[in-house]
Amino acid sequence: MSLGTSQTKTSLFIKHAIVILLVTIWTLPTLGLLVSSVRDKDQLTTSGWWTALTTNSQTEVFRLPTAEEQVAVADGYEIRSQLFEPGAKSRITNWGVRADGLTDNQPGRAVPFDDSSTLALAPDGTAVWHSKEKFTHTRGPRLFFGADYPPQFSLDNYREVLASEGVGRAFINTLTVALPATFVPILIAAFAAYALAWMDFKGRFFFLAMIIGLIVVPLQMSLIPVLKLFALIGSTLDVPSKSYVTVWLAHTGFGLPLAIYLLRNYMASLPRDIIESAYMDGATHFQIFVKMILPLSMPALASFAIFQFLWTWNDLLVAAVFLGQGEGKTVMTQQLIELLGSRGDNWEILTSGAFISIAIPVVVFLSLQKYFVRGLLAGSVKGG
């Protein structure tokens, strides 16, 4: 084997190793999100997703019931309680009546609790507080215990999100925003890209330079000016300044520079001979555009459609500014924040909510992915 062949194989191995490493790095967060979305809520809040397949040991505190819960038995009075949720497979490992006495007692046997009562804690979490005299306390004492929690997986997080009020409507609202905000920029950008690629007119390169410059302008810089413009138009025409039309126009304006740039580069890379031949045969620019350029530009159109749809579907800022909130307006990203709560107490449902939210974008990407790389690369190699 020659030295050159050996170096080629080594280089190929290094490239593949780097690609696999990068794919793994990018996949791990998604894997963690998926695992977290099907874990038990209590385990999700106390341990990382990488421990999902192992038994977790935790120390917890439980307050015994008050005297109102007591029942009379043959030799006195008894208060029963259960430390775990029904159906839980958790097991008690040790317990105590003080934080520093957690290992004082083992489950399964009764121990003196005070002068006239005993307390027994079974491995399954059943606590039996027995007394020869009637209980009179108004506040139950605390019980400290250690427990082993085996891995638990369920779809409860998904059920909670799907059953929440407003989620279905928010899903429809997001589709109402995303579909027009994807197709309208593509339609306008395709016409503009053809003009910049194949039509000669004064100022063509100036317009192209302006469009390229607009790509790097931060979205946040233009929010207030555009919102003021919509408010002025709304007050003049006596129409709402925040509606689906305004959010469609906003997404169209923000997405056009990149769309025109990508489509123009792709169209300019198409063979000049077939365009000139059609023009010599008497075809108009519109006929060439509709019958030749658009079919040949499907990879680039699909590539931008993926970008724009993902952006509009996952958008929160533009929808909050130009659409607002309320019945018939709240999109999925806003709805998930509302489900989270004002204090973030219900944050664990974000994992399942994220997967529910990305269902449609994944379908769109898988449907158009065969055009994705080909469309982007073809337009970036050559410019006319």
Amino acid symbol at 62: F
Global model pTM greater than 0.85: no
By the 8 A CB rule, do 260 and 192 touch? yes
Three-state DSSP string of 246-312: HHHHHHHHHHHHHHHHHHHHHHHCCCHHHHHHHHHCCCCHHHHHHHHHHHHCHHHHHHHHHHHHHHH
> Cα separation of 171 and 4, whole Å?
57
Alpha-carbon distance of 379 to 222, in angstroms, equals 28
Question: What's the token pair of residue 11?
Answer: 């280089």
Which positions ≥6 away from 46 have C-beta within 8 Å? 56, 58
Closest listed residue to residue 127, CA positions, set 68, 177, 183, 78: 78
Query: Biggest alpha carbon distance in the chain?
Result: 109
Tens-level pLDDT at each residue, the chain (384 residues): 455 566 677 888 888 889 899 988 988 888 888 888 888 877 787 788 888 888 888 888 899 899 888 898 888 899 999 988 887 788 998 888 887 877 888 888 888 887 788 889 999 889 999 998 898 888 888 888 888 888 888 888 888 888 887 888 888 999 999 999 999 999 999 999 999 888 888 888 898 889 888 888 888 888 888 888 888 888 887 777 788 989 999 999 999 999 999 899 888 888 888 888 888 888 888 888 888 888 888 888 888 888 899 999 999 889 888 887 776 788 888 888 887 765 556 677 788 888 888 888 888 888 777 766 565 555 444 444
DSSP-derived 3-state class of residue 329 = coil
Does domain 159-381 fall under CATH 3.40.50.1370? My reply is no
Q: Give the domain ranges of the chain.
A: 56-152, 159-381
Q: Give the distance, in angstroms, between the CA of residue 136 and the centroid of all CA atoms in the same chain.
A: 52
